[in-house]
């Protein structure tokens, strides 16, 4: 099983990826739900960020440092930096706080100074707000956003014909790398006869809301 397939199996085993009926932020009834916030202990976070590190190395993304947008991106960027260092690639990292601090070191950024090519590390891309704010922070510091790394690409349309991931690629001209995508989820379900009902539900959902290839 490849990295993406391993990740889907891991997410299902930990209950982070669930099947049933769930209402999305867009008001759609989705047959599956992915909540990265449920990677909430040391062992699961360690394995999750190992998948992130592998995705970076497999994609061959040229980057000089990592950035994690508050709040979910903070443990993700720290864990990914550790996982990369354990694989022989030591990169500095930085994250932001939501409100500027007016004492101590001050400012909104914590960690290494933003410089060079910066890879944004987050959980998912929904409306793209977190990415937009991150791009503005990075460019404001004189650095260059070079890509976004997320856990799962749902590959479904936003308000128009494009997905949130496609909109980010188009708006900023940077790649978006996902550890796994809807295609990987379908492949996982297709290999498990006991989950045939879930497979059909996800296929129907993709038919209704999926992006065009």
Spatial distance between the Cα atoms of 186 and 204, rounded to a whole number of angstroms:
11
Tell me if 161 sits within 8 A of 213, measured CB to CB.
no
Cα distances from 194 to residues 47, 54, 143, in angstroms, run: 26, 30, 49
Catalytic residue chosen out of the listed positions 23, 72, 87, 101: 101
Answer yes or no: 101 catalytic. Answer: yes
Tell me if 154 sits within 8 A of 182, measured CB to CB.
yes
Answer yes or no: 98 catalytic. Answer: no
Catalytic residue chosen out of the listed positions 25, 98, 103, 212: 103
Nearest Cα residue to 46 out of 70, 78, 73: 78
Other residues' Cβ atoms within 10 Å of the Cβ of residue 31: 19
Other residues' Cβ atoms within 10 Å of the Cβ of residue 111: 18
Give the catalytic positions in this structure. Answer: 101, 103
């Amino acid at each position: 099983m490849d990295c993406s397939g391993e990740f889907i199996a891991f997410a299902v085993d930990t209950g982070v990826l669930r099947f049933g009926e769930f209402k999305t932020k867009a008001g759609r009834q989705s047959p599956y739900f992915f909540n990265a916030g449920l990677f909430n202990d040391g062992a699961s976070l360690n394995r999750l960020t190992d998948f992130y590190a592998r995705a970076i190395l497999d994609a061959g993304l040229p980057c000089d440092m990592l950035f994690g947008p508050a709040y979910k991106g903070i443990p993700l960027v720290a864990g990914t930096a550790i996982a990369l260092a354990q694989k022989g690639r030591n990169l500095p990292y930085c994250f932001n706080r939501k409100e500027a601090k007016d004492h101590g070191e001050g400012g909104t950024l914590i960690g290494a100074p933003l410089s060079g090519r910066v890879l944004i590390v987050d959980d998912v891309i929904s409306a793209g707000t977190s990415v937009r704010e991150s791009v503005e922070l990075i460019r404001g510091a004189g650095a260059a956003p070079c890509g976004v790394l997320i856990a799962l690409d749902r590959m479904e349309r936003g308000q128009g014909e494009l997905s949130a991931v496609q909109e980010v690629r188009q708006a900023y001209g940077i790649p978006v790398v996902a550890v796994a995508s809807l295609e990987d989820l379908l492949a996982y379900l297709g290999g498990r006869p006991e989950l045939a009902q879930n497979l059909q539900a996800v296929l129907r959902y993709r038919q209704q809301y999926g992006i065009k290839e």
